[in-house]
Structure 1
Amino acid sequence: MANRREILPELLKLPVRERARLATELVQSLDESEDPDAAEAWLNELDRRAREVVTGTAKLEDWTKVRKRIELRMRGR
């Protein structure tokens, strides 16, 4: 098997999307612990939020305002 010094220069020649996909797969491979309840908990949360939107009980925000708030936060203000 080739070592890092041989592989890395070749991998860096890949298109950006391919490098991003590879990086994601590598990072995911580091997490060996799996929370069996996490997937179900997320699905329950998504269902709860969807019900709130459908029933009109969710507090919704205008995307323009949210985007502006995020941009200001990212600029460090």
Structure 2
Amino acid sequence: MSDPVSHILSLGRALPPEDRERLVEQLLESLNEPAAAELDAAWENEIQRRLAEFERGEVLPIDAEDVFAKARRIAR
């Protein structure tokens, strides 16, 4: 390990277990940030595409009650 990593690791090991857990979670989340940004952009594009289809009248809205009723029937 590099010196800064060793230093941070020793500091981390001195933390109480709940703080170490929080630190690990945040470090792991930071590894996914670029992927999350790409996913956010992809969803934004999909939302805009669907909205444009709706505004052009290419798709019709479906009542939420109907959607949930169908989902309940399928789930049985």
TM-score of the superposed pair, with normalisation by structure 2: 0.49
Q: If you compute each CA radius of gyration, which structure gives the higher value, 1 or 2?
A: 2
Q: Which has the higher helix share?
A: 2
